[in-house]
Amino acid sequence: MSATADPTAVPTADFVEDIVVVQETGGMVHFLLITYPPGNSGSAAGYVFRRPVGSDEPAENILATNDTLRELWCSPDGQVWTASSTGLVWTSAPVSWPGTGAAGLEFDTPEGGLTWHHVALPVQEHNGARPNPMAIWGTADDDVHIATFGGVLYHFDGRGWSQFYPGIGKPIGAVRGRAADDVYAVGYGSTLLHFDGSTWTRLDDPDGPGTDDLLSGIVFGGAGEVFVSGKSRGGRILHGSAARGFSVLERYDLPVIGMARVDGRLFLAATKSGVVEWTPQGPKTLRDDIVAWSVAEGEGRIYVTETPGEAAYSELDLSSGRWHRRFY
């Protein structure tokens, strides 16, 4: 699919540039760059780039659009999925979508030779509003979940989109699973949900009903356990599962906004507190000179996005202990 008009201009010094998501899959690092006039991030244009793992060479620009891309996920087959605050979903996977998008949509595929498809998510059934995606995850290109600001969860089964509204009305900012019948979603208002392959169920916060935490990240251990991070109650790490329930593993005085687990080690993105590793002896600060907004897993690596206005991400090679700062 190609555009008939030249999409957003190449970023210049007159624009703010942020790398907001980094994903590693199949030996490639994909990342989402947004650009916008100062003070107007709501209208940011989106660029998707990729480069080989460990490379500092200029990345390929595989999608450029004036759509407000915000989320990115790569499937096990290496296909790229991204979504915008306008409620559009884009993918390089071979899907059969009608190609209906927003008026005035412009895009191009400058490099990489990918064919992109895009579609508007159905409006939210409970209120007729346009969805605003906040997270994407799936087990395959025909099993994709999208969580939204309006608290609705969408599912693509390879044929069409279904949706579920748990009635919470709070933003759901993370969705992740270990299998098609074992998926978790978390968000504001201590939202903690589990999907068993057919039904979403709300799980209890271990601090009791009425707890109002921003649950921000989900990772999995090797023995079936689940770790969930919380940001707004001083920084909690919850531990458990849908079958056993959850307990509080640790309480830190840290604004934990995301987690990654690599080689049995648990890493936390803690905004102004930097990058922290959980250890049985307590939190260990790895970087306190960057404002960490997200942390993502790779093969023997973690990737950290930084404070807004930085068109770079930081990468830690766990085998050497060396940090690298990557620009696009």
| Cβ-based neighbours of 297, under 8 Å, separated by 6 or more | 24, 219, 260, 261, 262, 303
Q: Does residue 256 register a pLDDT over 70?
A: yes
Residue 311 CA to residue 13 CA, distance in Å, equals 12
Statement: residue 168 has pLDDT above 50: yes
pLDDT tens for 192-239 read 999 999 999 999 999 998 899 999 999 999 888 999 999 887 789 999
Q: Are strands 45-52 and 60-65 parallel, antiparallel or unpaired?
A: antiparallel
pLDDT surpasses 70 at 2: no
Mean local confidence (pLDDT), 234-259: 92
**Rounded CA separation 120/80 (Å):** 17
> How do residues 83-103 score in pLDDT, each as one tens digit?
999 999 999 999 988 765 566
- Nearest-angstrom CA–CA distance, 62 and 7: 13
Mean pLDDT, rounded, of the chain:
91
pLDDT of residue 6: 42
User: CA 201, 269, 25, 49: dihedral to nearest 10 degrees?
Assistant: 120
Res. 257: pLDDT tops 50: yes
Q: What is the pTM of this model?
A: 0.92
The proportion of the chain whose per-residue pLDDT surpasses 70, expressed as a percent, equals: 95
Q: Is the pLDDT of residue 11 over 80?
A: no
Residue 141, C-beta contacts closer than 8 angstroms, at least 6 positions apart: 75, 77, 79, 91, 93, 94, 95, 158
Does residue 251 contact residue 234 with C-beta atoms inside 8 Å? yes
Label residue 315 by pLDDT band (50, 70, 90): very high
- Predicted local distance difference test score (pLDDT) of residue 39: 81
Give the pLDDT score at 4.
33
| Section 134-152 average pLDDT | 97
Residues 6 or more apart whose CB falls under 8 angstroms from that of 201 comprise 193, 194, 195, 242
Work out the pLDDT band at 5, boundaries 50, 70, 90.
very low
Q: What is the mean pLDDT of residues 275-289?
A: 93
Please determine, for residue 124, whether its predicted confidence score (pLDDT) is greater than 70. Answer: yes
Quick one: pLDDT at residue 192? 97
Mean pLDDT of 36-58: 91
- Give yes or no for residue 3 having a pLDDT over 50: no
